[in-house]
Chains A and B, each alone.
Chain A
Amino acid sequence: MRATLIWTALAAAIIAPVAAAAFSPQLQWRDGIYIASGFAGVVGMALLLVQPLLAAGDLPLSQSDARRVHRVTGTLLLGAVLLHVAGLWITSPPDVVDALTFTSPTPFSVWGVIAMWGVFATALLAAWRRRLPLRPMTWRRVHLVLGLVIAAGTVTHALLIEGTMEVVTKWLLAGFVLVATLRVVWRAGRFRDFARRSG
């Protein structure tokens, strides 16, 4: 019963902003690639809600399942970011070049690009977990900081944009992502204090 509730709530939190964006009047004036890149962005942001919940063990999954799903979701997030940027590139190359070189006139693109680099760095960190000479605690801390950068960057990016996302569902998703992420960071800090005190 509790599990059903949790899954339903998570599904609603993810589906609502995507569905609301599907009704955006902006869509009628955009071609398929531009629309797809926009939705890749929305889906990517929604995945940012799943990741901290999995990391915190908030979802009704075994720890090993949660880990596996966390990795799959992370891969999907990487794919979403690549689709988002590639689609925008095809739609308007100079605007994407401006964003990537931090010379864009729009204040939100810098946050999107920072979050993008955060996702790339996290993907490498995860792929090279065994090869990197990092202690598990250090690896985890680096991952947490990157996660925070990704969440904060993405939320700022999305909130400043006037696009296909509907305002209420956008702010709600942004709030959920931030709260879920900060909760994981806060918990990790508490655990570290605890480990230090008892160690």
Chain B
Amino acid sequence: MTKLPRRSVLATGSAALLTTATGLTLPARAQGIEPTPTMRGGANNYRPGAPIVDRIGGGGFLMTGTVRRAGDGAPIPNARIQMWAHTTEGHERDERSHGATLTDAQGRFRMDMPQIVPAFGQPHGHLAYDAEFDQNGFETVFLRPVMRSASDTTLDVAFVLQTA
């Protein structure tokens, strides 16, 4: 039931296929990387300014991702990404279910958090890039990725941000 991610995966996949097949892969010409739109319901139960933590709760589930710039796809270091979910340790609204982290030099982030379990009908997570709590100057984006299976122990999420 993950219309948006599946579509974007398909789009990215076919775009990649097309560029490889036609031999159009020239370095420094990675133009036109579309910004990630905010997803429906992405901001639900958001807590603005959740603290930066090494780990949410006891951990065991790995949330990973990348944050890049729209257009050229350059990685964005030090971007503050917040995440929360209904996990084995708490409901989405609970403070202990929320945490934030910063991207590294390659624009990657990772968070060890409790296992996400299905809530409101789907096993899903929430992630935010909130311009209010970040100095990089990009537009706010809220994501609500759905896991392919409730037994997944990882979730990888890609942010492409637009200059505000």
Contacts and interface: CB of A to CB of B under 8 A. Distances in A.
- Chains A and B belong together in one complex: yes
Interface of A: 26, 28-31, 34, 88, 91-92, 94-95, 98, 103-109, 160-163
Contacts of A161: 121
The DSSP consensus for interface residues of chain B is loop
B44 A109 contact: no
B41 A94 contact: yes
B150 interface: yes
Contacts of A108: 1, 121
B91 interface: yes
A162 B40 contact: no
Given A29-B87, A162-B121, A92 B92 contact: yes
Contacts of A105: 4, 39-42, 144
Contact-residue bracket for chain B: 20 to 34
Interface string B42-68: 111100000000000000000000000
A167 to B, nearest CB: 12
A160 B122 CA distance: 9
A162 B86 contact: no
Contact of A29 (B4, B88, B122, B144): B88
Interface of B: 1, 3-4, 39-45, 86-88, 91-93, 117-123, 144, 150
Contact of A98 (B41, B87, B150): B41
Contacts of B4: 105
A31 B91 contact: yes
B44 A92 contact: yes
A135 B12 CA distance: 59
A101 to B, nearest CB: 11
B118 A162 contact: yes
Contact of A163 (B87, B92, B121): B121
A30 B92 CA distance: 11
A160 B93 contact: no
A98 B1 CA distance: 17
21 contacts: A28-B88, A29-B87, A29-B117, A30-B119, A92-B44, A92-B92, A92-B119, A94-B45, A98-B40, A105-B40, A105-B144, A107-B1, A108-B1, A108-B121, A109-B121, A160-B1, A161-B121, A162-B118, A162-B122, A162-B150, A163-B121
Contacts of A92: 44-45, 91-93, 119-120
A106 B1 contact: yes
B81 to A, nearest CB: 20
A109 B44 CA distance: 15
Contacts of A30: 91, 119
